[in-house]
Structure formats: structure tokens, C-alpha cells
């Protein structure tokens, strides 16, 4: 099992890791252990103990006319019970009650039979009533804006992915973005089969289909695959720029191979710079991530993060671990998703051309620099010039040794943060860089260049 690891410059206690690469289940998989948390019933009322009686006193009666043991008429503290009311003799009362009960039973039974017959045959009373009919697959009798309602809408659009390559296999998730068979997922989910291998998509209705890789983008950790199916339910894409911290979200996918899993949470943070890459991937991905506390585990990779309207606003891609000897790949409430606005642009490019591009400013950064901002190298590093001749930074007037402090007002603290901030834009966009040069600071308008992300 390969591991997709990364880091984030924020003080998160651990590092983001990839969510794919869950080994195919063994012939006799172990059933996961489930723990339950007791929940107080809203219908249960606490039992309140009666206050202790004073020593030597007689307990008060529990009912107004009850007589305590040892009661003596006229004793202090007790009133004489009222006299028993007079009325009809017992015999006539019982006879009348029996007759009334028989009449009520006959009339009620006849009316009930007539009403039930009309309801069950959908005639007359309410033709829309249909008893004992379960909701159709992919639907819910819950309100559309409830968690269950949103889940019912999203689940038919989410697929599980089984990937087999020459040297490794993995599982992950994806979701349908076009009804003619296009599916969006993470690059690291399908990377094992990029050159040779198979990708199998499992659908919510239990069917499976072989998928082909249309294109992939290691720089953004995105990929598009396609199955030969028509009229598939596609997941609507939302606007990740509209998100605010605290928005409710659902994560849907196949964590640990458990297909059709839904977890809930909120948007915990935005614009979280996350870098990923390492043992499980050939390339480093830079993610301008949405952080969420929705439970995300290995196998959730490539699945959608959706808003309360049931629209995709992110692609679940990484989780944080505790690190060190206690390192674990389970959810600790710190997960990361690629914003859907970035994924939409990349997916459209891949579908249209089979390739994708990324924005660049044309500089080499000094990763050894530890001060504030991101420093452009002063000299060539590994044969790469500090400023690419004719590149975006060169045209804007940047110089070797300049320190970039912000991008469009967004503070930059590390080299990774600068790359993530630039890649949050598109080729051709104009960004404003605040730069420190010596003892002075100034702003530069940079028109971003373009570079292919295809291998």
C-alpha cells in the first residue's frame, strides 16, 4: 500500500496524507468494529426522588381520597373524607354501559371498514395515499434540505473505484460530472494504472463498468476518467468561492472500501496551503485546500464534498495525521478538499484537449529561506535561472533576491504558500504581488504564464 503524504505550513499537528491506496479487501474481510454512543432520548424524563419525610411523621396520602394505614377519622393533619356521592344503582348502570358499548362498536366498525377500504384502494378519500411503499432507489421521504435528503440526492452520482496497476492496486472514489460517462477523481487514486492497468467504477445501483483515463493533472492532483454509459445522474457543481467558515458540508465516498458512506461536518478553514507527494506519487501536488472536520478516511479520495444544497464544492483529497510513532491514517477531524472551481477548470480542459495547464510566474524559489514571505533565488539552482527569461516575472520587473510578501492581499509565509496562491488563479490572470526589495516594498502587476501539467 503506497502512501500519499504532504505537509501544510499551518500549525496542524501532523501532515496531510493521500486517501487512496486502500488495499483490495481480503477474501474474508474483517468486519469493522463499531462503537456506539449512548444518546439521551428526548422522550425520557428524569426520575425525581421524593424528599425524605420528617422523622416520626406520617407520609401524606398519594391521592386526594386515599386513606393512609392507621388513619383515624378526625386525627390532626387529616380532613374527613367527603361522603360517597349518591347516584344510580350499580345494576342499571352496568346494563346501560354494556348496551352503549355494543352500539358504539357496531357503528365504529362499519365506519372504519368503509374508510379503510377507500384508503387502501386509493379511492375517494385521498387518492395520493399509498401505504407500505418504500422510496425508490436514490430518493428519500425526508425533507430535501435535510441531511438524509441531500444524501439521497448525491449518492447515485458517486462511484467507488478499484484500480489495478502493474505493481500495485488501490481503491478510491469519484463522482459523475457528465451524464455521458465522465467521472472526476484524484490523480493519486488512478495513478497506479496510468501507464498500464485497469480502473473499474462501481455505481450506486450495484453495477460496474471499466473506465478509461481521459487525462490527469499531477500538479493539482486531479484526473478525469470515462465509462461507456449514458443517461447517468450527474452531480451539480457549486461555487467554492461562496464558501465561508462554518458552512455545513457532507463528504461522500468509499472510506476503507465501505461504499456509499456519508459523513457530515463544517468548513473548518479556507485557503489552507497543502502540499502533497512522496512515496505514493511521482509528483508534488499543491492544493489551495478547503479544510473540513467531516470524517474523511483512506478511500474517500476523489469523492465529493457537497454543500447543503447537494452541489459539489470540493474533492476530498487529503487528511492530517498525528505524525511520529503515533502516526495513523484515520480521521482526526482535519481533512482537505480541492475547491471545485479549480477542479472544474482543469476537468473542462482535460475533457476538451486531453491535457491541462497551470499558471506560473517563472521564478525559482529559495526553499532554504526562513524569513517572512517567499524568496526568489539569488543565483541559479540546479541549472534553473532565478528569473525565467521572458517569463511573467521577468516581464513584470521582478529581480533575483526579491521576497514576495503577498498575492492579491493574501499573506505569503513560505515558498509552498506562494505556489499554492499562484495556482489558485488561471493562466492569463493578472495578480498583484507585494514585494520586498532590500529595505523597501513595492507592488508588481504580473500576468500569469501557462505551463502544461501533462507528463
Q: What positions carry a catalytic annotation?
A: 188, 221, 301
HSE toward the beta carbon, residue 271, CA cutoff 13 A: 17
Cα distance between residue 441 and residue 193, in whole Å:
48
Task: For residue 131, count other CB atoms closer than 10 A to its CB.
Answer: 7
Cα distance between residue 193 and residue 236, in whole Å:
28
Partners of residue 407 on adjacent β-strands: 410, 433
**Backbone torsions φ then ψ of 157, nearest 5 degrees:** -95, -5
Left (φ > 0), alpha (ψ -120 to 50) or beta: where does 261 sit? beta
**Backbone torsions φ then ψ of 410, nearest 5 degrees:** -90, 120
CA 342 to chain centre: 18
49: its cell numbers = 426522588
> How many angstroms separate the Cα of 117 from the Cα of each of 112, 124, 132, 401?
8, 10, 15, 87
Query: 343-348 long-range CB contacts below 8 Å, 24 or more apart?
Result: 343/184, 343/220, 343/222, 343/314, 343/315, 344/237, 345/426, 346/217, 346/220, 346/222, 347/177, 347/182, 347/184, 347/222, 347/224
Cα distance between residue 256 and residue 385, in whole Å:
45
H/E stretch holding 402 reads none
Partners of residue 253 on adjacent β-strands: 261
H/E stretch holding 416 reads helix 415-423
195: its cell numbers = 501507464
**Backbone torsions φ then ψ of 114, nearest 5 degrees:** -65, -45
Cα distance between residue 271 and residue 110, in whole Å:
68
Amino acid at each position: 500500500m503506497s502512501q500519499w503524504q504532504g505537509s501544510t505550513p499551518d500549525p496542524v499537528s501532523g501532515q496531510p496524507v493521500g486517501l487512496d491506496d486502500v488495499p483490495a479487501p481480503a477474501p474474508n474481510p474483517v468486519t469493522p468494529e463499531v462503537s456506539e454512543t449512548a444518546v439521551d432520548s428526548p422522550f425520557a424524563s428524569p426520575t425525581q426522588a421524593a424528599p425524605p419525610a420528617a422523622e416520626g411523621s406520617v407520609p401524606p396520602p398519594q391521592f386526594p381520597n386515599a386513606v393512609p394505614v392507621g388513619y383515624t377519622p378526625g386525627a390532626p393533619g387529616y380532613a374527613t373524607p367527603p361522603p360517597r356521592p349518591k347516584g344510580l344503582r350499580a345494576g342499571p348502570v352496568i346494563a346501560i354501559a354494556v348496551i352503549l358499548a355494543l352500539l358504539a362498536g357496531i357503528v365504529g366498525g362499519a365506519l372504519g371498514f368503509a374508510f379503510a377500504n377507500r384508503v387502501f384502494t386509493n379511492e375517494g378519500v385521498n387518492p395520493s395515499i399509498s401505504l407500505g411503499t418504500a422510496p425508490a432507489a436514490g430518493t428519500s421521504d425526508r425533507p430535501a434540505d435535510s441531511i438524509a435528503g441531500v444524501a439521497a440526492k448525491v449518492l447515485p452520482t458517486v462511484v467507488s473505484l478499484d484500480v489495478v496497476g502493474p505493481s500495485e492496486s488501490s481503491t478510491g472514489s469519484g463522482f459523475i460530472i457528465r451524464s455521458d460517462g465522465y467521472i472526476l477523481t484524484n490523480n493519486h487514486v488512478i495513478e497506479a494504472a496510468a501507464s498500464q492497468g485497469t480502473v473499474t467504477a462501481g455505481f450506486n445501483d450495484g453495477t460496474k463498468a471499466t473506465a478509461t483515463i481521459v487525462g490527469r493533472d499531477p500538479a493539482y492532483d486531479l484526473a478525469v476518467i470515462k465509462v461507456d454509459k449514458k443517461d447517468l445522474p450527474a452531480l451539480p457543481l457549486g461555487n467554492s468561492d461562496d464558501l465561508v467558515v462554518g458552512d455545513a458540508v457532507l463528504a461522500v465516498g468509499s472510506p476503507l472500501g465501505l461504499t456509499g458512506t456519508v459523513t457530515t461536518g463544517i468548513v473548518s478553514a479556507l485557503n489552507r496551503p497543502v502540499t502533497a507527494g512522496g512515496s505514493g506519487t511521482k509528483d508534488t501536488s499543491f492544493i489551495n485546500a478547503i479544510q473540513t472536520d467531516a470524517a474523511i478516511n483512506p478511500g474517500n479520495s476523489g469523492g465529493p464534498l457537497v454543500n447543503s444544497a447537494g452541489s459539489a464544492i470540493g474533492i476530498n483529497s487529503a487528511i492530517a495525521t498525528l505524525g511520529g510513532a503515533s502516526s495513523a491514517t484515520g480521521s482526526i477531524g482535519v481533512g482537505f478538499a480541492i475547491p471545485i472551481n479549480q477542479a472544474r477548470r482543469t476537468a473542462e480542459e482535460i475533457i476538451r484537449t486531453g491535457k491541462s495547464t497551470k499558471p506560473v510566474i517563472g521564478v525559482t524559489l529559495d526553499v532554504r529561506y526562513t524569513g517572512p514571505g517567499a524568496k526568489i533565488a539569488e543565483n541559479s539552482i540546479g541549472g534553473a535561472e532565478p528569473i525565467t527569461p521572458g517569463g511573467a516575472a521577468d516581464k513584470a520587473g521582478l529581480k533575483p533576491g526579491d521576497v514576495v510578501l503577498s498575492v492579491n492581499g493574501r499573506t505569503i509565509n513560505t515558498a509552498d504558500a506562494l505556489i499554492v496562491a499562484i495556482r489558485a488563479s488561471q493562466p492569463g490572470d493578472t495578480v498583484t504581488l507585494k514585494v520586498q526589495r532590500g529595505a523597501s516594498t513595492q507592488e508588481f502587476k504580473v500576468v500569469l504564464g501557462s505551463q502544461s501539467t501533462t507528463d
